[in-house]
Amino acid sequence: MNPNAQQFISVMSGPLKSRLFMFTKLPAAYFSGVRIKELNHEQATVTVPFKWFSQNPFRSTYFACLSMAAEMSTGLLAMMQIYKRSPQVSMLVVKVESTYLKKATGITSFHCGAGKDLEQIVDDCLKDGEARSYTAKSVGTNNAGEIVAEFFITWSFKAKK
């Protein structure tokens, strides 16, 4: 387990610090309204609203904005495990698969519960120095609890020498 994980959670759970992070590192997500709703050792929930900046011509949330929120729900859990690690671990998205089931016309919440799996993958990567990959599932639901979209984000991890 990353001994700095709780520090990462504290930083990213604070509304000011998380928005500053998004504004400086992920401006498209910031301006689209992507926000961190929940983050702990096991799961993350990220929301994206339907609004003028995130809309498509069909009066729903543009798929790229949905993808940003889905990726962030998995990426936060991965970043938490590599935060301030020694040796450092690099991470990269290598594949994205998605299925859209319902029109996203309000706030869509993406939930990923792969925290423990990602912790194990990063720990294994650090133990033997071998690159690893993991496919995390993120499910987007609307306010009624209906599934809007499902994403499978494959992350690659490699310990730096």
Angle formed at CA 52 by CA 49 and CA 56, multiple of 5 degrees:
85
Distances (CA, A) of 94 to 17, 71, 118, 155: 28, 12, 15, 6
Contacts (Cβ under 8 Å, ≥6 apart) of 67: 96, 98, 151
pLDDT of residue 28: 94
Contact predicate 9/24, CB 8 Å: no
Contacts (Cβ under 8 Å, ≥6 apart) of 78: 91, 118, 122, 134, 136, 155, 157
pLDDT of residue 2: 86
pLDDT of residue 96: 98
Task: Classify residue 9 by its DSSP letter.
Answer: H
HSE-CB at 75 with a 13 A cutoff on CA atoms is: 18
Residues of the chain with pLDDT under 70: none
CA 96, 91, 64, 97: dihedral to nearest 10 degrees? 10
**Residue matched to tokens 């310990």:** 159
pLDDT of residue 1: 80
Q: Which CATH number fits the domain 5-159, given the four candidates 3.40.50.300, 3.40.50.12140, 3.10.129.10, 3.40.430.10?
A: 3.10.129.10
pLDDT of residue 158: 96
Give the predicted TM-score (pTM) of the model.
Answer: 0.94
Helix axes 63-82, 115-128, angle to 10 degrees: 50
Instruction: List the domain boundaries for the chain.
Output: 5-159
